[in-house]
Amino acid sequence: MLRVPVFIIAISLLCCSSPVFAQPAYPAKSVRVVIPYPPGGGNDIIGRIVADDLGRRLGQQMLVDNRPGGSTAIGAELVARAPADGYTLLITSHTTYALLPNLRPKLNYDPVRDFEPVSLLARQSFALAVHPSLPANTVKQVIALARARPGQLTFSSAGAGTGTHFSGEQFKVLAKVDMLHVPYKGGNTALNAVLSGETTMTFGSLSALSPYVNAKKLRVIAVTSAKRSPLDRNIPTIAESGMPGYEMTPWYGLVTPKGAPQPVIERLNGAVIAAMQSKDMQEKIARVGYEPEGSTPQQLAEHIKAELARYTKLIKVIGFREE
C-alpha cells in the first residue's frame, strides 16, 4: 500500500476545508465605478471625485464607466446584473432610487432588492437658470412671464423622470403655470440646450451651471434645495422666493450588487467614511457645490426607503406623470 506523508495530507485538508485562506484581500484588482450619466454633468463630477479618492485609499484603480440613458435606469440595471463581488459599484441618486421606481412600474431593477447599500456620499442644490435673453431676474418674474405666455416657455432636463425634470414639474404645479418640458440624455446636453437658446431655461446642478453664470451666458434665478447652497449663499431658494413648500434636494450614494460579501461592504464603507471626514475631500466637494455626507450601509438603506415613501406621496399630490 502506498503511504502518503502526514504533512501532505495535512496541507491538502487545510486547503480543502479553508477556501477563504486562499482568497486575496479586497480589492485585488481594479474596480469599475458606473456613473449613469454622460461626462461633464454634476453627477459625473461627484462620481469622479469619489472614485479618485477611493482608488488612492484602496490601492487599486477605479475605472469610471459612464453609462447614460433611461434616466439612469441603464446604468443601474447594468450594476444590478453584475457579479456580486464588489468589483462593480454604482454612483446612485434620488433619481435612480426614489423617482424612477415611483414612475416606472416595469423597471428592470429594484432599488431595495437588487443592491447592497454602502454609504451616502453627498447632497447638492439644483438651480433654476435662464437664458440671458429672458426678461426675468426673480422667481416671481419667471412665473409672471410664464402666465403671460402659456406653453411658450421651455425647460430642458437631464431626461424624463430625472430630478431636473421633476424640479420643473413641481415648479409648474405649485406656480400654476404651463411650461413645456424638453428632455435630453444628460445634464450636459440639457445645459447646452439653454446655452444655445434652444430652450428658455433649465434646472441643473449649480456646480455645472456656475462657470456659465460667471461668463454671463446664463442667469441663475434660485436654488431648489430647502436651504441656500454653500457654493453661493447669495442665491435665494425657490421656496423663499414666493413658492413655499417647494424643495428638490438631490443626494448621491454608493451601492454594489446584492449579495456582495460583508467584508467588502465594510471595506468600502470604511474608505468612504474616511474620505468624507478628511479636510481635503470636504474642500473638494464643497468647491463644486456639494455637501459631503457619510453614513453606515444601514443608514443609506433607511434613507432610500424614506425617500421612496416621500416621493410616492409628493408625486401623487402634484399629479406628476412621466412623459
Please give the residue range of the domain that contains residue 170. 126-241
Alpha helix stretches (DSSP H) within the chain: 6-17, 42-58, 73-80, 94, 100-103, 139-148, 163-175, 187-195, 206-214, 262-277, 279-287, 297-318
Q: Cα angle at 249 between 315 and 67, to 5 degrees? A: 85
Q: Where are the alpha helices (H) located in 177-257, listed in sequence order? A: 187-195, 206-214
Number of domains in the chain: 2
Same structural domain, 260 and 115: yes
Give the separation between CA 97 and CA 101, rounded to whole angstroms: 7
88 and 152 part of one domain: no
Does residue 106 belong to any structural domain of this protein? yes
Whether 136 and 226 map to the same domain: the answer is: yes
State the chain's mean pLDDT as an integer.
88
Q: Which three cell numbers stand for residue 69?
A: 440613458
Residue range 6-34: average pLDDT?
64
155 plus 57 within the same structural domain = no
Residue 137, domain CATH: 3.40.190.10
Q: pTM, whole model, 2 decimals?
A: 0.74
Q: For residue 322, give Cα distances in angstroms to 96, 102, 205, 305, 310.
A: 14, 10, 21, 21, 17
pLDDT of residue 10: 46
DSSP3 helix / strand / coil % (the chain, rounded to 5): 45, 20, 35
Residues 131, 265, single domain; the answer is: no
Instruction: Give the orientation angle of helix 279-287 with respect to helix 262-277, to 10 degrees.
Output: 80
In this structure, which amino acid lies at residue 81?
R
Residues 150 and 224 in one domain: yes
118 and 156 assigned to the same domain: no
Q: How many residues are listed for the chain in this entry?
A: 323
> What is the DSSP-derived secondary structure letter of residue 83?
-
Handedness of CA 212, 217, 222, 228 (dihedral sign): positive
Summarize pLDDT for 172-229 with one digit per residue, the tens: 989 999 999 999 988 889 999 999 999 999 998 887 888 999 999 999 999 999 888 8
189: cell is 446636453
- Looking at the structure, do residues 136 and 177 belong to the same domain, yes or no? yes
Residue 84: per-residue pLDDT: 97
Question: Among 182, 211, 241, where does a domain finish?
Answer: 241
pLDDT digits (tens, 9 = 90+) for 115-165: 999 999 998 889 999 999 999 999 999 999 999 999 999 999 988 777 888
| In a domain? residue 265 | yes
Residues 6+ apart with CB under 8 A from 155: 168, 179, 180, 181, 182, 199, 200, 201, 202, 203
Joined together, the cell numbers standing for residue 143 give 412665473
Q: Which residues contact 230 (CB under 8 A, 6 or more apart)?
A: 286, 289, 291
Rg (the chain; Cα; Å): 23
Q: What pLDDT score does 257 carry?
A: 98
Cell of 80: 444590478
Does any domain span residue 18? no
How many other CB atoms sit within 10 Å of the CB of residue 112? 13
Residue 16: pLDDT over 60: no
103 and 155 in a single domain? The answer is no
Comparing CA positions, the residue from 192, 220, 208, 158 lying closest to residue 41 is 208
Mean pLDDT score, 289-298? 91
When pLDDT is averaged across residues 92-101 and rounded to a whole number, the result is 88
Contact in structure between 143 and 177 (CB atoms under 8 Å): yes
The pLDDT assigned to 94 comes to: 87
Is there a single domain that holds both residue 235 and residue 131? yes
Dihedrals phi, psi of 181, to nearest 5 degrees: -90, 135
Same domain, 134 and 212: yes
What does the DSSP 8-state code read for residue 237?
Answer: B
Q: What is the CATH number of the domain that holds 294?
A: 3.40.190.150
Distance CA 92, CA 71 (A): 12
- Domain-terminating residue out of 241, 259, 282: 241
Residue 120 lies in a domain: yes
Q: Going by C-beta distance under 8 Å and a sequence separation of 6 or more, which residues neighbour residue 232?
A: 206, 210
Last residue of a domain, one of 219, 241, 263: 241
pLDDT-based confidence at 9, cuts 50/70/90?
A: very low
Instruction: Assess whether the previous peptide bond of 27 is cis (omega < 30° from 0).
Output: yes
What pLDDT is recorded for position 106?
85
